[in-house]
Amino acid sequence: MTHTVPPGNPEAPTTPAATAPGPAASASGHDTAADRGLPAALKRRVPKYADLAPLMQFKKPEFSRAARLRRASTIWDLRDMAKRRTPQAPFDYTDGAAEAEISLRRARQAFLDIEFRPGVLRDVSSIDLSTDILGGPSRLPVGIAPTGFTRMMQSEGEYAGSRAAEAAGIPYTLSTMGTASIEDVAAAAPRGRNWFQLYLWTDRERSLELIQRAAAAGNDTLMVTVDTAVAGARLRDVRNGMTIPPALTLKTVLDASYRPAWWFNFLTHEPLTFASLSRYTGTVADLINSMFDPTLTYADLGWLRETWKGKLVVKGIQTVDDARKVVDHGADGIVLSNHGGRQLDRAPIPFHLLPEVSAALKADRSDAAIILDTGIMSGADIIAALALGADFTLIGRAYLYGLMAGGRAGVDRALQILEKDMERTMALLGVSRVAELTPEHVRILRT
User: Catalytic residue numbers?
Assistant: 339
Contact 75, 398 (CB under 8 A): yes
Radius of gyration of the chain (CA): 29
What's the gap between Cα 115 and its chain centre? 20
Cα gap 159→179, rounded to integer Å: 10
DSSP notation for 364-401: TT---EEEE-SS--SHHHHHHHHHTT-SEEEESHHHHH
Burial class (CB in 10 A: 0-12, 13-18, 19+), 365: exposed
Q: Tell me the longest C-alpha to C-alpha distance in the chain.
A: 112
**Helix or strand run (H / E) with residue 414:** helix 397-429
Question: Other CB atoms closer than 10 Å to residue 216's CB: what's the count?
Answer: 11
* Cis before 245 (ω within 30): yes
CB-based contacts of 56: which residues, under 8 Å, 6+ apart? none
SS3 144: strand
Cα gap 421→300, rounded to integer Å: 40
Please choose, from the candidates 137, 136, 90, 192, the residue with its C-alpha nearest in 3D space to the C-alpha of residue 310: 136
Please choose, from the candidates 170, 140, 161, 165, the residue with its C-alpha nearest in 3D space to the C-alpha of residue 425: 140
DSSP notation for 255-297: HHTT-HHHHHHHHTSPPP--SS-S---EEHHHHHHHH--TT--
Please choose, from the candidates 324, 316, 298, 122, the residue with its C-alpha nearest in 3D space to the C-alpha of residue 227: 316
Cα gap 108→436, rounded to integer Å: 25
| Residue 170: HSE in the Cβ half-sphere, 13 Å Cα cutoff | 26
Burial class (CB in 10 A: 0-12, 13-18, 19+), 46: exposed
